[in-house]
Amino acid sequence: NRTYSISVIPGDGIGKEVMPEGIRVLERAATLYGFSIAQTWQDFACCDYYAKHGQMMPDDWKERIGKPDAIFFGAVGWPDTVPDHVSLWGSLLQFRREYDQYVNLRPVRLMPGVPCPLVGREPGDIDFWVVRENTEGEYSSVGGKMFPGTDREIVIQETVMTRHGTDRVLRYAFDLAATRDRKHVTSATKSNGIAITMPWWDERVEEMAKNYPTVTHDKYHIDILTAQFVLNPDRFDVVVASNLFGDILSDLGPACTGTIGVAPSGNINPDGTHPSLFEPVHGSAPDIAGKGIANPVGQIWSAAMMLEHLGEVDAAAAIMRAVETVLAEPGLRTGDLKGTASTEQCGKAIADAL
Amino acid sequence: NRTYSISVIPGDGIGKEVMPEGIRVLERAATLYGFSIAQTWQDFACCDYYAKHGQMMPDDWKERIGKPDAIFFGAVGWPDTVPDHVSLWGSLLQFRREYDQYVNLRPVRLMPGVPCPLVGREPGDIDFWVVRENTEGEYSSVGGKMFPGTDREIVIQETVMTRHGTDRVLRYAFDLAATRDRKHVTSATKSNGIAITMPWWDERVEEMAKNYPTVTHDKYHIDILTAQFVLNPDRFDVVVASNLFGDILSDLGPACTGTIGVAPSGNINPDGTHPSLFEPVHGSAPDIAGKGIANPVGQIWSAAMMLEHLGEVDAAAAIMRAVETVLAEPGLRTGDLKGTASTEQCGKAIADAL
Ligand SMILES: CC(C)[C@H](C(=O)O)[C@@H](O)C(=O)O
Ligand SMILES: CC(C)[C@H](C(=O)O)[C@@H](O)C(=O)O
């Protein structure tokens, strides 16, 4: 009797529209694969909780969320009424840190039916993971201003890396690579320019690599690495990066495969001491919200990642097969992929293909 | 009687091979356009000065360089004997800072004869500038380690932005945009994640924009901006960015146009109180050094940027026309562009096409 408690946070804009499709597919998978999903929905969003209370979440948000097996998240943000750094630090970035979701994991994969902006690439050619440090590094809250409002104004923000925080994400990346065919880790660095933190990051990579004799590794400076994503994306297997570099690479990677609108991500606490959170890469997209045309595949792919994390490996694989089948059919794809389906039609098609 | 004093620093590896071609074209342009070049060569490189003296440059390097009108630089670096951060902070990065070359300027342009990795783009489609802050920001020397060598190890590096340093590079970008047809500035930010320095950067952009009523502007977070470089590179006109973001964008941009091997850059002191430095984007490329096959176009295009900076606008434009003519001919291109010419043959062809 496998029952998973899921905290559902649809968020703002198209988050609210794609979430029902994610849930639809989850429930169908549950029926077919013999587990069940216990949902608790939360209205933590700019246009809901914030609009009423002036903050993204109540002070006792941890109690309200309880101890679910995972969090299923849509997208948060409504810049017209709440500045992005307020909405994000008040929700998504707070979860990442408070729940110690220290790995941000994103696939970069060429999918059928998704036009690739790079010349001559076919589905199968590009298939790698970006493993991003998700709690420290460049996203610190340490720093401030001197002489504000004057010509002498100085603003400082500290990048803070710890051995604890760095080693655990590197370990995750090497562990992941060890399970794959190519068994290769690429580290994103910038030790030639960012000359205090990044040479140290390189040292930690070398140390960690010693524990994995079957895994090969190399490193690229972030500038040339972004170039390599465009020029030789077939070269990568597992790419590990600091918080900021990983943020960049995990948008650029999906852009290179044309999948930015459909890619998922996991914010993972591998230790299992806190819930992990799964969300599409795309944001709340205020410009197309309310029209029922948003692509639900990112939310549904996130459901597959969540099930894989929960151990429902067969159900996860089945969802991915259903996604690929539906993406290959123009009549079942949404308009962003030159299809004709609505959000709901696309979601239903994937549920049916299961 | 226009004579320009140029300090020539070929550097290491292929820097030494492409520099003579840059000089060849410069001298031909001088003859044709009625100016002259007074050269002083320096051996500040890993395999020259460093090999003899254990440092990249003598302590009195400023006196030795004197007060040239510009510095013409090849590429420095030889990781087998000198770690990159030593060679770069001992030369290139030191010039940028000591000569207050606060603008790093790079073109992103689709060129004839250069295969573009993006689907369906033609020469003329992509033509913009990246203006990078070149002296402060994320490339700081402030920070350090606590509890080194233990499990509690913490490494900190500070990003330091000043109003002085930020406003002047923004002003340069808006000034540049004002001279162009589209008159548009795009700012690279990350104010949703890097929540101390980057929201402040955004404010400075808004302040600066008020002085330029004819120039439009927008901003993108760096993650989605890298995606836009791949998906919609025709959208940009002038992109302005902090030191690190500009470093990334000015490699990614040339990668998207296939021109990373041929793109130039200017490290510019717009006030004219110090010499500016012009260099190809590519590095010293130890793997192909010594074979005479390196592409000299980056060095030659850098010569054109240098002449433009010195006011020799016609000569600069003529060099660019010659470059485009030669790039269109497979027999005159080097092997990296599927041509058959050697470094010298390609350089001579461009000098002849002048
Ligand atoms: C070599 C390196 C230090 C340098 C930089 O990061 O500035 C290079 O990437 C560049 O863009 O000129
Ligand atoms: C919205 C933003 C703060 C976030 C980040 O930078 O982490 C996003 O870009 C992401 O990658 O999840």
Is B212 a residue whose pLDDT tops 90?
A: yes
CA distance linking residue A201 with residue A193, whole number of Å: 13
Per DSSP, the three-state class of A186 is strand
Is B62 a residue whose pLDDT tops 90?
A: yes
Measured CA distances, B309 to B8, B95, B219, B254 (Å): 16, 17, 28, 21
C-beta B193 within 6 A of ligand 2: yes
pLDDT at position A84 = 85
Contacts of A250 in chain B (CB under 8 A): 223
Mean pLDDT of A276-298: 96
Helix axes B222-231, A243-256, angle to 10 degrees: 20
In tens, the pLDDT along B1-58 reads 799 999 999 999 999 999 999 999 999 999 999 999 999 999 999 999 999 999 999 9
In tens, the pLDDT along A146-181 reads 999 999 999 999 999 999 999 999 999 999 999 999
**CB distance from B86 to chain A under 8 Å?**
no
Asked whether A190 and A246 are in contact (CB, 8 A), the reply is no
In tens, the pLDDT along A23-44 reads 999 999 999 999 999 999 999 9
CA distance linking residue B15 with residue B94, whole number of Å: 18
**CB atoms B116 and A117 under 8 Å:** no
Strand-pairing partners, residue B341, are: B334
pLDDT at position B104 = 98
Is A323 a residue whose pLDDT tops 90?
A: yes
Helix axes B15-33, B313-327, angle to 10 degrees: 120
Nearest by CB: A161 against B155, B190, B226:
B155
For A190-194, B216-220, B228-232, B301-305, which range has the lowest pLDDT when averaged over its residues? A190-194
DSSP A138: T
Using pLDDT thresholds of 50, 70 and 90, give the confidence band for residue A216.
Answer: very high
- B351 is written with which tokens? 């000098």
- Ligand 1 pocket, mutate which of B88, B101, B106, B284 (most atoms under 8 A from CB): B88
- A222 is written with which tokens? 């972030």
B163 Cβ contact list (under 8 Å, min separation 6): A150, A151, A152, A153, A154, B204
CA of A102 to the centre of ligand 2 (A): 14
DSSP B308: H
Contacts of B159 in chain A (CB under 8 A): 138, 143, 156-159
- Residue A316: HSE in the Cβ half-sphere, 13 Å Cα cutoff: 13
In tens, the pLDDT along A114-129 reads 999 999 999 889 999 9
Phi, psi angle pair for A97, to nearest 5°: -80, -45
The beta strand positions in chain B, using DSSP E, are: 2-11, 35-41, 70-75, 103-109, 127-133, 143-146, 154-162, 184-189, 216-221, 238-241, 264-268, 276-280
pLDDT at position B85 = 81
Interface test with B, best of A12, A56, A226 (most B CBs within 10 A): A226
pLDDT at position A192 = 87
CA distance linking residue A201 with residue A26, whole number of Å: 39
**Closest atom of ligand 1 relative to the B251 alpha carbon:** 11
Nearest by CB: A84 against B88, B158, B192:
B192
CA distance linking residue A250 with residue A240, whole number of Å: 10
For each of the domains in chain B, give its residue range(s) and CATH number, in order of start. 1-100+265-354 (3.40.718.10), 127-256 (3.40.718.10)
**CB atoms B158 and A145 under 8 Å:** no
**CB atoms A231 and B155 under 8 Å:** no
- A261 is written with which tokens? 């609108």
Strand-pairing partners, residue A79, are: none
**CB distance from B319 to chain A under 8 Å?**
no
pLDDT at position B192 = 87
C-beta B227 within 6 A of ligand 2: no
Is B220 a residue whose pLDDT tops 90?
A: yes
Helix (H) or strand (E) holding A98: helix A92-98
Nearest by CB: B163 against A153, A197, A255:
A153
Mean pLDDT of B190-202: 94
CA distance linking residue B49 with residue B253, whole number of Å: 33
In tens, the pLDDT along B73-106 reads 999 999 999 988 899 889 999 999 999 999 999 9
Task: For B246-274, give one letter per residue: b (16+ CB within 10 A) or e.
Answer: bbbbbbbbbbbbbbbbbbbbbbbbbeeeb
Give the strand pairing for A154-162 and A143-146. Answer: antiparallel
CA distance linking residue B288 with residue B337, whole number of Å: 15
Per DSSP, the three-state class of B255 is helix
pTM for the whole structure:
0.95
In tens, the pLDDT along A235-253 reads 999 999 999 999 999 999 9
The nearest CA of chain B is from the CA of A39 a distance in Å of: 29
Asked whether A269 and A101 are in contact (CB, 8 A), the reply is yes
